[in-house]
Amino acid sequence: MARPRKEGLDYFPHDTDAVNDEKIEALRMLYGNDGYAFYFILLERIYRTNNAELNISDAETRQILSKKVAITEDKFNQILNSALKYELFDKEAYAQKGVLTSNGIKKRAGIVVEKRLKMRAKYTEKVDKISDAETNQKNRINSEKTPESKEKKSKEKKSKNNINNIICSEIFDYWNSKGIITHKTLTDEFKKDILKAISETSAEDIKKAIDHYAEMFHNKGYEYCSYKWGIHEFLTRKEGYKRFLDDGSKWLNYLRYRAEGKQQIGYTYNYDDGGDSL
């Protein structure tokens, strides 16, 4: 019998000096080790989900989690309010959907699931080659028509979609954080653009290209990057994200510009000034 497909993570990074983080330290100052246990026990539960979001909108779930942390429900709610206040979790996501997550959590989960997806694709390719060499074409076609095979493919497709949704959401939120053009909804078209770009390079390279474009666009003294793109144009135009990668022509020209001493160190911008809201 095949091993069940993994959902969520088996582990997540835990820095050895996490106790000194100002936000976590605030919980410990207010609630002692209960605050520390609360945060990391909930993190374990969040990373076990398939989309790095833990739904605690119902009272029964909060009651179970309270017992898991070994505190009362009242104290659980108190610590939860403080954790949201200090932005250990995303306040907006909790207010809208009753889920616990954050950009940092999704970023770390996205890195792992992206690697898992690539390893899974390599393994599938290898298995397919062996199967083609050893299996008669007719038997292979008949096997694909069995209910078990269809169910397996359905589960694989669902798992891949979950992974793709996490990665697309992470890239989409990262784009909006740069204050160029802020989009309200992650549409199917945007997902298609993001997945195509990732297939050509990687999620981390796409983020780096976004960083470079944002720096150039917000530099008021640099007149060669004043065009205002949305994420669709940035990812699909002929002179789109590839020219903003580390070895891209537009980024290399900008580095030469900075080297000439014309660039003021650093740049600032107002997120509310990000342009049209789509």
User: Which pTM was predicted?
Assistant: 0.44
119 or 131: whose pLDDT is higher? 119
Q: Residue 179: exposed, middle, or buried by beta-carbon count in 10 A (0-12, 13-18, 19+)?
A: middle
Tens of pLDDT, residue by residue over 178-202, are 999 999 999 999 999 999 988 888 8
Parse the chain into domains and list their residue ranges: 18-101, 111-278
Tell me the pLDDT tens digit for each residue of 123-166.
666 655 565 556 555 566 555 556 665 665 665 666 667 778 88
Lowest pLDDT segment from 52-56, 183-187, 254-258, 265-269:
265-269
